[in-house]
Amino acid sequence: MKYTIYLIILTMGLSNFQVEAQELKPIYASNPFLSSYKTPFNVPPFHLIKNEHYKPAIQEGILIQRREVDGIANNKNNPTFDNTILALENSGELLTKVTTVFYNINSANTNDEIQKVANEIAPLISTHSDNINLNEKLFAKVKTVWNQKDQLNLTLEQNKLLEKTYKEFVRNGANLNASDKEKLRAINNEIAVLTLKFDQNILAETNNYEYVVNKKEQLAGLPEELIIAAAETAKGKGKKGKWVITLSNSSVMPFLQYCSNRQLREEIWKAYKNRCNNGNEFDNNAVALQIANRRAEKARLLGYRTHAHYVLEESMAKTPEKVMTFLNQLWTPALEKAKVEEAQIKQMMLAEGIKDNVQPYDWRYYSEKIRIEKFDLDEQELRPYFSLEAVTNGVFMVCDKLYGLQFKELKNIPTYHDEVTAWEVMEKNGKHLGILYMDFYPRASKQGGAWMTSYKPQQKEGDKRIPPIISIVCNFSKPTTDAPALFTFDEVTTYFHEFGHALHGLLSNVSYKSLAGTNVYRDFVELPSQVMENWAADPAVLKMYAKHYKTGEIIPDALIQKLENSGTYGQGFATVEYLASAFLDMDFHTSTTTITGTAEAFEKESMKKIGLIPSIIPRHRANYFSHIFAGGYSAGYYSYIWSGVLDTDAFDQFKKTSLFDSEKANSFRINILEKGGTEEPMELYKKFRGSEPSIEPLLKKRGLETPSK
C-alpha cells in the first residue's frame, strides 16, 4: 500500500498574507471552505469545491492558526497541559481541513491546475511548519509542561500526547542554535519541493506511455476479458479497433502474466521498469539522490548518524541494525526458494526450446504456466467468482462477523468523482461510527497503487466521540461492456488489506486526533491491514462470499483446494522482490556519505551487495520508489514484513479457536483498532495476544521454514 499521513501546520509572514487577503476577498465570499456550509455527516463539499478555492482557504487558515499559536506562545499564565499542549492540538482547524482535502484530491483526482497549486504551497507548508517547530517561546512552554509531567497527574492519553508533542519539537530542531535552524529551514523547504516533484514525475511518466497493438494475434495467451479491456482502453484514447497496454498495474501485470509473445513482454516490462529513468523531463535519478542526501544532511544536523537512525527512533524496531538483522534472517531462505522457482522456470523454457537465461519478464508468465501444470490452477478460473460486488459483500461479511459492523451505501452525498461510492458505517445497533469513501479504478488523474487515507480523523469533544471520515483508493481491474469488474486474487487481498487500514481509522476511539487511527509507528500500522488479508484467503470464508458473477454459484471446493495447494508457490519470488526493495530503502537511508552518480547506479550496487539474482528486480526500483521518496515510508519499507510477523501470529490465534472468535475479535478491536497511538505498540499487541509474537507462523505462511522445522 502507498500509505501517507500528512501532518500540516502552515505559517508565513503575516504582512504578506494581509495584503493578499485584501486582494482575495471576492474569492472568499464564494469559497465553501470559508463559509458555513452544511453537508450530510459533515463530509467535504466536493460538489462546491473548485481548484481556485484551495490557496485562498489555506491562506486564511494560516492567518487563523498563526494567531492561535502566537496566543499560546505569549500566554502570560503558567504553561499547563490545557493551555499549551491541548491548545496546540486543537489549533489550525480550518487549515487542516483544507489541506487534508487538497492533498487527498492531489493523489486521487489531480489535474495540471491542482499540481500547480501543490508546487506553490509546498514551500509555504515547509516554511510555516518550521516557524512553529522552531518557535523558541512556544517550545519553552512545551518544555515546561514536559518537565512537570510527573506532577501533573495526567491520563495515559494525555501523557502520550505530551510526549508526542515534546518529541516532535525536539526532532524538528527546537534545540538547534539559530544558525542551524536556518540550515534546517532550507533543507526542509528543498525536501518538500523534491518529494512533490518525484511523485508528479511518476504520474506523468505512467500516463505518457501506451503500447498500441494493431493485430489481435499479438495478444496471444491473454484471456478474452483482458483483450476486451485493452480494446476499451484504446477506444477511450481515440484508437478504436486497436488495443492499448498501459503502465497501470491492472494493465501491465496481467499482460506480463499471460502474453505468450516474449518479445512483446520484454517491451512492456522494459517500459515499466524504466519509468522515470529515461533521461527526459520526468527522470527521477537526480531527484531521488537529492532527497536522500538532504535527508541525511538533516539527520546529521539533528544529531543522528543517518536518516534511518532518525526515523527508526520512533518505531518498534528502534535501530537500523535491528532492521537489517531481521531482513537478513528472511533473505537467505527466501533467496533459496526463489532459486528453486527459477530452476523450474528454466526447465520449462528449455522444454519450449528457449535456451536463454530466465529474465524478469519471464517470471510471471512461466510461474502462471507452472501453477497450471503443477497445481491445475489457472487464475482466470478464479476471477468470475471475484466480482466487485462479491468481494465487497465478503469484506462487509467479515467485518460483521468479527465486529458487528453494518454498511449502508449513501447515494445523495458529495463525492470527488462519479466512480467513488460513499458508505455509512454503523454498529450492529445502528449507532453511527463513521463515513467511508471507496474509489476502485485507475484513471489518468490518480496516482498508482492502493492506499487508505482520512478526510477527518476521529477525536472526542469532552465525552462525545466525533466520527471519522475515511477513504480507500485503489487501481483495480475495471468493468468492461461484457462483464462487471472481476478481480484477480491479488486484487482481492489488496481490497481486504486496505479495508483493514480503514477499520483502524473507523473504529478509533481516542481523545486526540493526532493519536487516532493510523497515527502509530510505521512498523505497526500494517498490522490491521495485513491481518485482514488472512480472512480473504481462508477456505471457509471464500465459501461465504466468492460467487460466480453470472450463475451465483459458490466457488467449488476443488478450486479452493487448488488455491490452497498453491499457497506457498511463488513466495520465493514475491518475498525476494519485496526484500530487495526493503534493502534498497535501508541502503539509501543509512548512507553516511553523500551519494553521487545516479539512483540507478546506487540501486545496482545495493542489489549486488545482497546477491540479488539477475532474473528478479526490486519490486520498487529507485526511480519510481514513491513509498520512500514521496509516501512517508523512508527507512520504513521493511515494515510490511515486520508487521507480517504480527499479523500471521495474530491470525494464528484465531485459527486455533475460531475464525470469528468473538472474544479474540473484541480484544483485537479494543486493544489494537480502537487505541491508535495512545500506547506503545508492543504493549498493545501483548494485551491482545498475551505475549510477544513468534516469527514461525510467517515463515510457515511463506514456505520459508528450514528443513529442520
For residue 436, the model assigns a pLDDT of: 98
Q: Within the chain, which residue ranges are assigned CATH 1.10.1370.40? A: 14-175, 384-565+640-701
Q: Is it the case that residue 4 has pLDDT exceeding 80?
A: no
Tens digit of pLDDT for each residue in 238-251? 999 999 999 999 99
Residue 9 has pLDDT above 50, yes or no: no
Catalytic pick from 498, 533, 603, 674? 498
Q: How confident is the model at residue 253 (pLDDT cuts 50, 70, 90)?
A: very high
Q: Which of 384, 387, 381 has the alpha carbon at shortest distance from 485?
A: 387
2/475 Cα distance (integer angstroms): 12
Q: Are strands 432-439 and 451-456 parallel, antiparallel or unpaired?
A: unpaired
For residue 510, give the amino acid letter: V
User: Which one, of 379, 194, 360, lies nearest residue 272 by Cα?
Assistant: 360
Within 8 A by CB and 6+ apart from 626, the residues are 2, 198, 199, 202, 447, 449, 620
135: three-class secondary structure by DSSP: coil
* pLDDT at res. 21: 40
| 395 phi and psi angles, rounded to 5 deg | -60, -45
Decide yes or no: CATH 3.30.1390.20 for domain 384-565+640-701: no
* Digit-coded pLDDT (tens) for 363-401: 999 999 999 999 999 989 999 999 999 999 999 999 999
- CA–CA separation, 299 and 167 (whole Å): 15
For the beta sheet containing 469-473, the strands, ordered from the edge strand earlier in sequence to the opposite edge, are 406-410, 421-426, 432-439, 469-473, 451-456
- How wide is the angle at C-alpha 93 spanned by C-alphas 91 and 96, nearest 5°? 110
Q: What percent of the chain has pLDDT over 90?
A: 92
Spatial distance between the Cα atoms of 363 and 361, rounded to a whole number of angstroms: 6
pLDDT value at residue 37: 79
Structure confidence by residue, pLDDT tens digits, 517-536: 999 999 999 999 999 999 99
CA atoms 5, 574, 200, 183: torsion sign: positive
- Is residue 498 among the annotated active site residues? yes
C-alpha cell at 3: 500509505
The phi and psi torsions of 460 (rounded to 5 degrees) equal -125, 145
pLDDT, one tens digit per residue, over 555-610 is: 999 999 999 999 899 999 999 999 999 999 999 999 999 999 999 999 999 999 99
- Asked whether the predicted pLDDT for residue 143 surpasses 50, the reply is yes
Q: What is the pLDDT of residue 577?
A: 98
* pLDDT value at 7 more than 60: no
Query: Does 24 have pLDDT greater than 80?
Result: no
- CB 477: neighbour CB atoms within 10 A? 27
Mean pLDDT for the stretch of residues 491-505:
98
Give the pLDDT band (50/70/90) at residue 6: very low
Average pLDDT, the chain: 93
Q: What is the DSSP-derived secondary structure letter of residue 284?
A: -
- Backbone dihedral region of 462: left (phi > 0), alpha (psi from -120 to 50 degrees) or beta? left
Q: Which residues contact 331 (CB under 8 A, 6 or more apart)?
A: 576, 579, 583, 610
pLDDT over 70 (residue 631):
yes
Assigned fold of 14-175: Neurolysin; domain 3 (1.10.1370)
**Of the ranges 9-13, 132-136, 263-267, 574-578, which one carries the lowest mean pLDDT score?**
9-13
Residue range 616-639: mean pLDDT, rounded = 97
DSSP H helix total and E strand total for the chain: 29, 9
Residue 23 has pLDDT above 90, yes or no: no
- C-alpha separations of 160 from 155, 167, 459, 670 in Å: 9, 10, 15, 18
Say what the pTM is: 0.93
Is the per-residue pLDDT at 8 higher than 50? no
CA distance 202 to 204: 5
What is the reported pLDDT for 87? Answer: 98
pLDDT in tens, 47-94: 999 999 999 999 899 999 999 999 999 999 999 999 999 999 999 999
Mean pLDDT of 189-201: 96
CA dihedral 694, 700, 706, 708 (to 10 degrees): 80
322-374 per-position pLDDT tens digit: 999 999 999 999 999 999 999 999 999 999 999 999 999 999 999 999 999 99
Q: What confidence score (pLDDT) does residue 29 get?
A: 59
User: 247 with 208: CB under 8 angstroms?
Assistant: no
Length of the chain: 709
DSSP three-state, residue 134: coil
First-residue to last-residue Cα distance in the chain: 32
Q: Is the pLDDT of residue 229 over 70?
A: yes
User: pLDDT by residue (tens digit) across 412-450?
Assistant: 999 999 999 999 999 999 999 999 999 999 999 999 999
